[in-house]
Chains A and B, each alone.
Chain A
């Protein structure tokens, strides 16, 4: 099912009684969630992503705008009539009920024509349990289950009524790192198997990038960018998106363009023909540094961190706006930690230029993001 948000806005009254006014949690959101896709709403806390999810579910009423499910306006429908499944961050499993009773709960609410017989309910619950692979745990209570298993039960309960859309609020936040990896693959698999349109909220960009068909990056209630994870990573629309995606984060420098070259400090690090002269903000992905004794970009070496396959070179540069500069390079090319300076050339498609004022929009320049690797 396709979900369309049209100029969706949500304002909350301010909690503080002294300063009257409103907080805009979601501001004029317009986008489509394509049918059968897994979409990640991504942003720092307080960016309005959870509110957006609550608006789709109907738990919150929008201040303005419409929500369409397959073209049908559901803005005024209460949540129970929208045909949604929702999984909370804390799973909200009823603690006094067993796994089976939890999964049966939504089915037992059906009345009138929809009312199911005991056998039908058991069959549906079994089907949902098989899907999330918890058939063996049906008699347990939630406290006897690991976080990952609880998560599965919550998903089974959300899916048992075959919702038109599945909403997941921070589904992985309560899991430890290893379970998180497993569970996100699991969510991906379940979504593929059922084909249900799924929206999930996360502040973890890695999580969103790894399993989403599309990600929506939000900031202060406003959509920054929508697109396939790789596209958004390679071609962020502005500095905020560039900074938000990627671990370790992008390195930011003050730079300027003169005579068709990009200068950081006094060094011309990259030719950028055709760009007008002036100041720019430069973003360089950690993987954009190539160790090169003849490279144009020199940094003062702080330390070398070996992380197995890769090596992280931490360095300092006076023009850096994001503190220590971090470069990820292959371990074979690691510099001698005793060196004082280390020189790099830059991968052209890993360098991003942003206009220094206003919305810090990205400035396109020849070849960036096109997958070509150019050396300065």
Chain B
């Protein structure tokens, strides 16, 4: 009995902290989302209902943010995971300068997101004085110039995806490199003696062995990409609606603090919709993984 009390005592600080900063806001968000006509000055509302959700789902700015977010997720998660896997496999097979390469590939991870975003903007931006480095490159192939920052939608989406992939890659490479290194070499030796073709070694031995890590990266990749916001701000500035580059989290922020903000109920509804989407995607991920992920 005494030890149980003591256990609770030890847990108390963490529980208090989580309660105040995690559970309470979560409950609060749910309450906000169903309060119709909430006025932040008076703190009063007309009543309880699902109007906020209906409003958000009909709001063209939300739909734009939703489309951008879904596109971003659908493009960057598979691409970044796939490219990270290729790079990790490459890193695992080189011997010379391996540490140098590892460092280079890991550099973006320790670099500030906004700083990197600004550099990207300079690379891609077209100004009256210069077309930017990316356009110089395009000119070699006789294309362009394209304004990637203030230009057509696809160009902006391309930059955002490119940037996102570049930013999330180092962590994935780090995880996959260590996952590959942890596969016991004896498996490869046995496979070699059995004259296993390279592709089969990869699909039948390497992939199953690193599947838990791969799965982890895919799930966290989905979650991270759905929460994208700061990347878009770094590239296109704070007025994302004008740039047609807003994301769901950006929409939530705008509803709270943006120029047209002050609507915590709409923000809460949008946040809960995002939560529902992420929950669904993660559940689907988990169901798919049952069949394909192997845990030792």
Report A52 CB to chain B, min CB distance, Å.
16
Beta-carbon contact of B192 and A161 below 8 Å:
no
Contacts of A115 on B, CB cut-off 8 Å? none
Decide: A80 near B194, CB < 8 A? Known: A94-B205, A95-B296, A143-B296.
yes
Contacts of B189 on A, CB cut-off 8 Å? 59, 86, 88, 92
Interface residues of B in 181-214 (CB under 8 A from A): 184, 186-187, 189-190, 192-197, 200, 204-205, 208-209
Q: B158 an interface residue at 8 Å Cβ cutoff?
A: no
How many inter-chain contacts with C-beta < 8 Å in the A-B complex?
A: 54
Decide: A96 near B192, CB < 8 A? Known: A90-B184, A90-B186, A109-B197.
no
Q: B294 an interface residue at 8 Å Cβ cutoff?
A: yes
Can you add 15 more A-B contacts, CB < 8 Å, to A59-B193, A105-B196, A108-B200?
A: A80-B192, A80-B195, A84-B193, A85-B193, A86-B193, A92-B186, A92-B187, A92-B190, A94-B187, A106-B194, A109-B195, A109-B197, A109-B200, A157-B190, A161-B194
Contacts of B197 on A, CB cut-off 8 Å? 109, 111
Contacts of B184 on A, CB cut-off 8 Å? 90, 92
Interface string of A70-100 (1 = CB under 8 A from B): 0000000011110011101010101110000
Task: State A84–B192 Cα separation when bound (angstroms).
Answer: 11
Contacts of B204 on A, CB cut-off 8 Å? 94, 105
Residue of B nearest to A79 (CB): B193
Q: Give me the interface of A with B, judged by CB distance under 8 Å.
A: 57-59, 78-81, 84-86, 88, 90, 92, 94-96, 105-106, 108-111, 143, 157, 161
**Interface residues of B: mostly helix, strand, loop or mixed?**
helix
Beta-carbon contact of B186 and A88 below 8 Å:
yes
10 contacts across the A-B interface (CB closer than 8 A): A59-B192, A80-B193, A81-B195, A86-B193, A94-B205, A94-B208, A95-B294, A95-B296, A96-B208, A157-B190
Contacts of B196 on A, CB cut-off 8 Å? 105-106, 109
Contacts of A157 on B, CB cut-off 8 Å? 190
Contacts of A95 on B, CB cut-off 8 Å? 294, 296
Contacts of B296 on A, CB cut-off 8 Å? 95, 143
Contacts of A78 on B, CB cut-off 8 Å? 192
Task: State A90–B185 Cα separation when bound (angstroms).
Answer: 11
Report A246 CB to chain B, min CB distance, Å.
32
Report B291 CB to chain A, min CB distance, Å.
12
Beta-carbon contact of A86 and B195 below 8 Å:
no
Decide: A88 near B190, CB < 8 A? Known: A94-B205, A96-B209.
yes
Query: Sorted from nearest, which 8 A-B pairs have the closest CB atoms?
Result: A80-B195, A92-B186, A106-B194, A96-B294, A96-B208, A88-B186, A92-B190, A79-B193
Report A215 CB to chain B, min CB distance, Å.
25
Interface residues of B in 262-296 (CB under 8 A from A): 294, 296
Task: State A57–B200 Cα separation when bound (angstroms).
Answer: 21
Contacts of B190 on A, CB cut-off 8 Å? 86, 88, 92, 157
Task: State A90–B190 Cα separation when bound (angstroms).
Answer: 12
Task: State A67–B296 Cα separation when bound (angstroms).
Answer: 38
Residue of A nearest to B208 (CB): A96
Contacts of B186 on A, CB cut-off 8 Å? 88, 90, 92
Task: State A331–B282 Cα separation when bound (angstroms).
Answer: 71
Task: State A88–B186 Cα separation when bound (angstroms).
Answer: 7
Report B214 CB to chain A, min CB distance, Å.
13
Task: State A81–B186 Cα separation when bound (angstroms).
Answer: 18
Task: State A110–B197 Cα separation when bound (angstroms).
Answer: 9
Task: State A165–B12 Cα separation when bound (angstroms).
Answer: 65
Residue of B nearest to A88 (CB): B186
Residue of B nearest to A89 (CB): B186
Decide: A109 near B187, CB < 8 A? Known: A95-B294, A96-B208, A143-B296.
no
Task: State A161–B196 Cα separation when bound (angstroms).
Answer: 13
Contacts of A111 on B, CB cut-off 8 Å? 197
Task: State A90–B296 Cα separation when bound (angstroms).
Answer: 15
Q: Looking at the complex, which one of B192, B194, B208, B209 makes contact with A105 (CB distance below 8 Å)?
A: B194
Contacts of B193 on A, CB cut-off 8 Å? 57-59, 79-80, 84-86
Task: State A57–B190 Cα separation when bound (angstroms).
Answer: 11
Interface string of B76-104 (1 = CB under 8 A from A): 00000000000000000000000000000
Contacts of A109 on B, CB cut-off 8 Å? 194-197, 200
Interface residues of B in 87-137 (CB under 8 A from A): none
Residue of B nearest to A86 (CB): B193
Report A139 CB to chain B, min CB distance, Å.
16
